[in-house]
Structure 1
Amino acid sequence: GRFDELAWGGDLGTQESLFISVKMWREFFRDYYLEFYAEIVRRFGTRLAIFYHSCGSVWDMIPDLIDVGVRILNPIQVRARNMEPERLKAAWGGILTFHGAIDIQHVLPHCTVEEVRRHTEEMMEVLGAGGGYICGPNHAIQADTSVEKILAVYETIGSLAGNA
């Protein structure tokens, strides 16, 4: 067999900003990421997609993540500053695949089943336009989320993807 994807991550953002400045990240981490990804490409080839997980507001870091080889960004925390799906898709949609975006912070716990369906449809329409989107929750679904809401997400995904 062969690998299709390498999942890697480290939270870089909070709800409002990065944990460290882009300048500090470049100084202390960038070269390690470049070295790591170069070794992965050497061993497994360029067809291996680099999946990076970082919660929070990572907008300012996205160009650097792309530069070091990231091609799939997760979890797309839509309630974090500057992480609006429309903005992300317009800026990076031709380069990145977005993974996640179904809001577990507000929509799943506090909205109705119908609102969950509409939110899922919206994420698929915005981030999925032209491809480059893997729809799913933007983090672990919390224990107090009703089964009906979870099913609403996955039924909506299946319906819009033509798999229902």
Structure 2
Amino acid sequence: MFMNSRERVMAAVRHQKVDRIPMFMDCTTLDVTEALIKGVGCQTEEEMHKKLQIDCRWCVCMDDFISRNAYEEGTFIDMWGVEKTVYGGIPAAHPLSHLESVEDIENYDHWPSPDQIDYDKYIEKMKQFQDYAVFGGMWSPFLEQATMLVGMENLMMLMYDDPELVDILLDKIVGFYLECNRRMFEKAGDLMQIYFMGDDYGTQNSLLYSPDMFRRFIKPRLKRLYDLAKSYGYVVQQHSCGSVVKIVPDLIEIGLDGLHPIQVSAAGMELKEVKRQFGEQLYFAGSMDAMHLLIDGTDEEVEERIQETMSLFDNGGFIFGPSQGFLPEIPTERIIKMYELGYRYGNKEEK
């Protein structure tokens, strides 16, 4: 049974048999992308994706949140009024670090408007990829955005000292993302299939926030975003780096379909164990160890891991890719080989 890329991905996320396990691409920097384009002998990113048999296409709105105009040497101001470093987007200052009252939120003069987003740019991009599974919507990292505005330590302290103020702040941010997503979904219709949103809740060893704090501040707001996407018929895929195994049942409870990127080097995130616990309720996207194995492992170890990974998923439930975006430290040839091996060992027609 031959499937096109969209059919293959949608069968996989529905835990149905596929002709081969679908694959996605995730590069952290333009340098990595350009090296891959050159490495496979192509001229464009799309040609490279086709040559490596990539089944998913990224049409998620993130770029509009970062102004490309440098503010000073090495920094710029994003649309939320946060000064960041050009490389890495690290905040140089937190404009609401003084947050003490509702008036501080109301008087802040850099709240973005949904009118600032160029939705049509993403819709036109989606139209080019109708044989592929399209990841779309707004990235919607409302917790990260709160930490950018207030500062992580300040935000954590406020969660204990003034939780109602944190509620108002988070609702302000989530309200923006809900309206942006609503507008995007109205325009996109069936041009996209998977709502892909992201925020980071885990560290290498555990959660950034306790399960109780997650349930108090994050879970109900995630549900609003999930519910909106579900009302338009989209599959919901959540990104979070780190060890998030303790909150996966909560994510399932509020309607999550797929978890990305399965950071296998983090505590409790070994793919086989995560699949054992949650594989009937979720599909998984990612898992190839981009922090250690792809950088330091031998060719034999990489191939063995790919073969083992693909053997776990004979009945869908998986999209093959890295455990984080590919880093510049990973040899280009190894990334190319990873997808060649993924194509070979993920082929279910020959089994």
Q: Do both proteins adopt the same fold according to a TM-score greater than 0.5, normalized to the shorter chain?
A: yes
Question: Which has the higher mean CA deviation after the structures are superposed, 109-118 or 6-15?
Answer: 109-118
Offset of 1:20 from its aligned partner? 0.4
Offset of 1:157 from its aligned partner? 0.9
| Corresponding pairs, count | 160
Deviation above 3 Å: which 4+ runs of structure 1?
none
2:200 maps to 11
Asked if structure 2 preserves the Cα contact closer than 8 Å seen for 1:76 and 1:138, the reply is yes
Distance 1:15 1:111 in 2: 19
Aligned AA for 2:286? G
1:71 maps to 257
Asked if structure 1 preserves the Cα contact closer than 8 Å seen for 2:303 and 2:341, the reply is yes
Distance 1:5 1:12 in 2: 21
**Cα deviation per residue 1:9-64 (whole Å; 9 max; x = unaligned)?**
2101000000001111111122212222222222x12xx11010000000001001
Distance 1:51 1:38 in 2: 12
- 3-state DSSP class of the match of 1:99? strand
Q: Select 2:333's aligned residue among 118, 136, 148.
A: 148
Question: Which has the higher mean CA deviation after the structures are superposed, 20-29 or 143-152?
Answer: 143-152
- RMSD (Å) for aligned C-alpha atoms: 1.7
Distance 2:283 2:219 in 1: 21
- 3-state DSSP class of the match of 1:70? coil
Asked if structure 2 preserves the Cα contact closer than 8 Å seen for 1:107 and 1:119, the reply is no
Q: Select 2:292's aligned residue among 77, 89, 106.
A: 106
Q: Relative contact order, CA 8 A, sep 6+: which one is greater?
A: 2
Task: Give 1 or 2 for the bigger CA radius of gyration.
Answer: 2
Distance 2:196 2:269 in 1: 21
Q: Select 1:36's aligned residue among 222, 225, 228.
A: 225
- 3-state DSSP class of the match of 2:257? strand
Identity of aligned residues (%): 35
- 3-state DSSP class of the match of 2:330? coil
1:55 maps to 241
Offset of 1:131 from its aligned partner? 1.7
Change in 2 beyond 3 A, CA 1:146/1:25? same
Does structure 1 residue 115 correspond to structure 2 residue 301?
Answer: yes
Name the structure where strand makes up a greater proportion of residues. Answer: 1
Distance 2:331 2:229 in 1: 40
Instruction: Give the TM-score taking structure 1 as reference length.
Output: 0.91
- 3-state DSSP class of the match of 1:88? helix
Asked if structure 1 preserves the Cα contact closer than 8 Å seen for 2:237 and 2:260, the reply is yes
- 3-state DSSP class of the match of 1:95? coil
